[in-house]
Structure formats: C-alpha cells, structure tokens
Amino acid sequence: MSGAPAGGFRRALRRVSGRAVRLLAAMGACILLIEGAARWAPALLPRPVRLRALEFLSRRGSALFVPDRELGVALPAPARLSMPLFPGSRIRHVLLPGESRIGFRGDFQDAARAGVDIVAIGDSHVYQVEVDEDETWISQLARVSGLRTANLGLPYQGTNQELRFYELYGARLRPKVVLLTVCPNDAWDNEAYTNWLVEMGGGEAQRPASSFIRYKTCLQLRLPSAACALATFLHRNSLLGFAATSNLWSSSYAAAIDRNLRKQEGLGTIGRDIQTMKSLVEGGGGRFGVILTDIWGFPSTHPQYLRMREILKARRIPFLDLVVAFNGSKDIRRRRREFLSVDNLHWNGQGSAFVAQEVYRFLRKRGFVRPPKERQSGAPKIFR
C-alpha cells in the first residue's frame, strides 16, 4: 500500500518537471526570437530599446578599446570604425608616437615629428563617438584657429586616468596648449580606477588589464561576483542582456556621481589631478586650461559645481565654463536640444561648433593663441 502514494508522487513530480522544462524551452525560444528580431530590425523597437540596440551593435561591430595594464583600457590603432547608433560618425585612430598598437582619434599621422599646437584630453566629451571626425569640437577648433590639434579623448576615464594618459603618451606630442575637460562623473570614474589599481595590486606585468571594464561595471551594479559574471556575459553577448544591464547601470549612475562628489576626497582628487597636470604641461613649456562641461544635468547652482569653480579659482587655473556659455542667452537655452546627439548626453555637430567657438574665444582672451594676420579682426563665426 505504501508504494502506491510514492509512485503517484513520482509521476506527479515528473509531470510538473516536464511542464517546467517545456515552459522554460518556450521562454528561451521566445527570447531568442526577440533577440534575433532586435538584431535584424532594430528600427522596429521602441525608441529607448532601439537606442540600446544600436549601441550594442556599435560595440559588437567595432573594437573601441584594447586592454592596457596601466590605464585599464586604451584605443586600438590603426583603426577605422563606424557606429550604427550614430550613422554619420566615421572614426579613425592613428598610432601614438612610439607605440605599435595604441592610438588616438584623428588623422594627424606626423604628430611625433611636427608636434601639435593644441591637445584636448578628457573623456567622451573630447572623443565624441557621436559625430564624424570633422565635426568634433577639437577638429572644428583646428579649422577656425588655423592651428594643429590632437584629440586625446578616451571614453569613460576620469581625471586620474587622464593625468596618467598625458604622462605616458600626451607629452610626447609636445603640445603648446593642453585643454582638459572636467565633468561631474569624473569623481565616480576616479574612484573606480583607483580601486581597480589597488585590488589588482602588483606591478604592471601582474595586473590583468582585461578585467577593468568588468570590474568597473560590477562596482557600479553592486553585484556579487557570481551574479556579476553572468551580468557581464549577458552585457557582452546578448542585445537584450545589454539593454537590461545598461538600464540598471544608468539608473544608479547619476546617484553614484552625486554620492562620490559629496565625499570629501571626490573633488579634492580632481583638484590635485588638475594641478599636477598643469605643472607637467607648464614644466614642458606649454600652457594649460580647463573646460567645465555642462552635460550631466548638474545646474549652475549645484553645490559641487560651485565648489569646482572655487577650486579652479583658488589654484589660479584658467577655465572655460560651458555651463555659463550654454546659458548665456535665451536663444541658446531655447535651442539646447538642438545641440545634443540622439543620446541627449553629448554634443552633435551643431553643439560641437558652438563649443569650438567658445573655446577659441577663451584661448584668445587668455592669450593662449594669436590669430593669423588675415584674421586680426576677430574669430570667424563657425556656429550658426
């Protein structure tokens, strides 16, 4: 008699297990079908998901980074890239002086011999993946000023990585002027890079550079190692996984930036990095200035923004405040959206033209550059 209930239980368990397996298989097939459709026709997706899909396809189709044991990541060179998310963006990387695989964005092949007049160093606001080579603000600055420029932007880096990047590579270009862009997210990027260096430990040869992107992503998502490994796999290999993890990452990013800025050491680290870079540049006979970017939604009344201005003034560092520039007139404020790319975070070609014009005025006002004789009457107006 006792065997009958046990046998019935086993049969019921097998039925439930079979249904669960079939349900999971059906769900997996649906996910694969949606994944395939999203990759094949991203234009059919809702706009927020479509932007994530195109960003994923951009990253999958282009090797934007190579591992670097000192910086975490660097730009591969030589390389020609295109980004589906930004159809008008054509990107070219050329080798840095003395390097065989690491480069910078641009087409100035002879930088090592000829040197450059102006170097711009910073994160995505200098690199500008969203626009074509000729539309970046540093390229437009070259045209309006008649000077040789170099784009040393590297997305996702903070001021500590930018300082190290200049020490390792930027100084080789012998620039006459160095412009460093500073953004509120630098405080978060600085902490992530510092923690990575500490946790990886050892010397350069012992540091697994390939782990930096994963480390930074997991630090932001605050996931345990096992969950982070799965999230990283999905982020890299699945369009839907990329959209999910990216949305999760973005939702906490602004809060993380603000949290890091409010720490005592957040702005202090930025200030020290800026001062150190200024000393390096001026020690090499160049001039140094800072550009405060306006993108991340921090208003001009934000206490951390005001504190950053105070730090720059106290250290007597020349700076251009784009928050003020973009709020300088009602017309500019009204047209604010016209200056941004589809991600609403970075400048498009029109916004870059405005930035280039403001930077040129700043350089002229500070005596960093002198206009060619045929332009003595003032800077030509490249922004419309």
186-224 pLDDT tens trace: 888 888 888 888 877 766 556 665 577 777 777 766 667
- Do 200 and 310 form a contact (C-beta atoms < 8 A)? no
Q: Where are the domains of the chain?
A: 1-40, 65-194+254-375
Which residues does 360 contact at the CB level (< 8 Å), separation at least 6? 141, 144, 145, 369, 379
State pLDDT tens for residues 23-57. 888 887 887 887 787 777 777 777 777 777 777 77
Pure H helices in 41-119: 47-61, 111-114
What are 359-370's pLDDT values in tens digits?
Answer: 999 999 999 987
| Structure confidence by residue, pLDDT tens digits, 276-317 | 999 999 999 999 999 998 765 566 677 777 888 899 999 999
Distance between CA atoms of residues 132 and 128, nearest Å = 8
Q: Which residues pair with 154 in a beta bridge?
A: none
Dihedral sign from CA coordinates of 207, 209, 214, 215: positive
Residue 66 structure tokens: 């190579």
Query: In this predicted structure, what is the pLDDT of residue 382?
Result: 42
Is the bond preceding residue 84 a cis peptide, omega within 30 degrees?
no
The CA distances from residue 80 to 91, 236, 243, 273, in Å, are 6, 21, 26, 32
- Give me the amino acid identity at 362: F
> How many residues are listed for the chain in this entry?
384
CB 292 within 8 A of CB 182: yes
Q: pTM surpassing 0.85?
A: no
Q: Which CATH architecture has domain 65-194+254-375?
A: 3-Layer(aba) Sandwich (3.40)
pLDDT tens digit sequence for 50-91: 777 777 776 655 567 888 888 888 999 888 887 777 776 788
Helical residues (DSSP H) of the chain, grouped into ranges: 3-40, 47-61, 111-114, 124-127, 137-145, 159-168, 186-200, 212-221, 225-237, 239-262, 264-283, 303-314, 322-326, 330-334, 349-366
